Amino acid sequence: MITKNIQYAVDELKRDGLVSIPTETVYGLAANAYNETTVKKIFELKNRPHYNPLIVHIKSADYLQHIAKEIPDIALKLATAFWPGPLTLVLKKQEHVSDFITAGKDTVAVRVPNHPLTLDLLNELDFPLAAPSANPFGSISPTNATHVHAYFGETLPVILDGGECEKGIESTIIGFENNQPILYRHGSISIEEIEKMVGKINTITHNDQTPNAPGMLSRHYAPKTETYLTNNVAALATYFEGKKIGLLVFKNPMHHHNIHHQEILSKTGDCAEAAKNLYAAMHRLDEQNLDVIIAERLPDEGLGKTINDKLERATKKE
C-alpha cells in the first residue's frame, strides 16, 4: 500500500513489520532497530549479504548517545552542521545495538534524515529505524514510492509516499580512526564541503570483504541492462553500431542513429540537479528494453565526483 498517512507506518512498525520510508536521499526499507528478528527481515527481503552493515535513522542529534558512545568532538561538529541531513557518521556502538545491524563490527552507522514525513514518523516511535535503501541488493536505488512498489509490490505492506527525493543519491558516510575523519562513501554532501569544516580527510571507499559502511562494495546501484561509463560517448556509440542504445548524459544531448532513448541529467550543467535526477533516469533507461546503456562521466569534482562514483559501481569499464 502506498500512503501518505504515517499512522499506517507507525502501526506496521510496532507490529514488527517492514515499511518503506522517504528520505531526502533515497527511499529506505525500515524496521525497528531494537528488534533483531525484524532487522533480519530486511536482509531477507533485499537478499542483502549479512556482512554489509545498515544505517540507523534517529529522530535528532540528541538521541545519538542512545546508539553511539565515545563520540569524537569532530563528529559532534559535523552532526551540528549537517543534521538533519544526508550525512551518516560511523561511531562506536552502544552494546545493545544488534550485531546484525553492524555486520558484527563494534561501530554503527547513524544519521538524522531530513524529510518531514519520516521525522514525524520517528517522533511517533520509541525506537530508531534501521533502514538501507528500499531495493533488491545491488539494484538501482529508489527515489520515489513507485520505484519501491515496482521492486516489492504487495510484499511490502506500507510504502510511505513522500514524493520525489530532494537529493536523489545516498548520504555521505564519514567514519573515524584515531578521532580523525575518513570518507567511507561519496554522497549528497561533497567531500569538499566536509573538508571546509574539518580539513583534508582520507578516503577509503572500497571494501568487498568487510565493509565499514554501506555503499563500499565495488558493484552496486546497477541497472539490469549492460551499462558502460565513458568520457567519449560518441566513440562508444559507434562501437556499439547496430545495438539498441540508451544514453545517460550530463547536459548536452547527442545525436546518433543508434540512440533509442536519451536521458539528460541537467540541461544547465548543475551537478545537484544531476544528482537528484540520476537514479530516476537510470530506472527509465532500464525500462526501455535496450541492448546497452552508455553513461557519460561528469566533471570529477563536487557532486560530480559523487555521481561518477555511483556510475562506476553500476557499470562495466570501457
Q: Write out the chain's pLDDT in tens, 318 residues.
A: 999 999 999 999 999 999 999 999 999 999 999 999 999 999 999 999 999 999 999 999 999 999 999 999 999 999 999 999 999 999 999 999 999 999 999 999 999 999 999 999 999 999 999 999 999 999 999 999 999 999 999 999 999 999 999 999 999 999 999 889 999 999 999 999 999 999 999 999 988 888 998 989 888 888 999 999 999 999 999 999 899 999 999 999 988 788 999 999 999 999 999 999 999 999 999 999 999 999 999 999 999 999 999 999 998 654
Identify whether residues 150 and 184 lie together within a single domain. Answer: yes
Indicate the burial class of 288 (C-beta count within 10 angstroms; 0-12, 13-18, 19 or more).
middle
Count of domains forming the chain: 2
Identify whether residues 185 and 238 lie together within a single domain. Answer: no
Q: Tell whether 72 is covered by a domain.
A: yes
Q: What is the pLDDT of residue 261?
A: 95
Identify whether residues 63 and 194 lie together within a single domain. Answer: yes
> Do the Cβ atoms of 173 and 187 come closer than 8 Å?
yes
Looking only at the bridges linking them, the beta strands covering 172-177 and 180-185 are antiparallel
Any idea what the CATH number is for the domain that residue 9 is in? 3.90.870.10
Identify whether residues 176 and 263 lie together within a single domain. Answer: no
Q: Tell whether 57 is covered by a domain.
A: yes
Identify whether residues 101 and 32 lie together within a single domain. Answer: yes
Identify whether residues 197 and 306 lie together within a single domain. Answer: no
Identify whether residues 190 and 240 lie together within a single domain. Answer: no
- Pick from 171, 203, 235: which residue ends a domain? 203
Q: Tell whether 213 is covered by a domain.
A: no
Q: Tell whether 220 is covered by a domain.
A: no
Q: What is the pLDDT of residue 316?
A: 61
> In 10 A of CB 241, how many CB atoms?
10
Domain that holds residue 241: 227-317
Any idea what the CATH number is for the domain that residue 248 is in? 3.40.50.11030
- Pick from 137, 170, 203: which residue ends a domain? 203
Q: Tell whether 243 is covered by a domain.
A: yes
List the one residue out of 265, 43, 283, 28 whose CA is nearest residue 150: 283
Identify whether residues 232 and 192 lie together within a single domain. Answer: no
Identify whether residues 180 and 279 lie together within a single domain. Answer: no
List the one residue out of 20, 18, 16 whose CA is nearest residue 4: 20
Q: What is the pLDDT of residue 179?
A: 85
For the entire predicted model, the pTM comes to 0.95
Q: What is the pLDDT of residue 221?
A: 82
Looking only at the bridges linking them, the beta strands covering 158-160 and 19-21 are parallel
Q: Tell whether 29 is covered by a domain.
A: yes
Q: Tell whether 290 is covered by a domain.
A: yes
Q: Tell whether 222 is covered by a domain.
A: no
Identify whether residues 142 and 93 lie together within a single domain. Answer: yes
Identify whether residues 181 and 248 lie together within a single domain. Answer: no
Identify whether residues 197 and 233 lie together within a single domain. Answer: no
List the one residue out of 294, 169, 160 whose CA is nearest residue 225: 294
List the one residue out of 126, 123, 121, 128 whose CA is nearest residue 158: 121
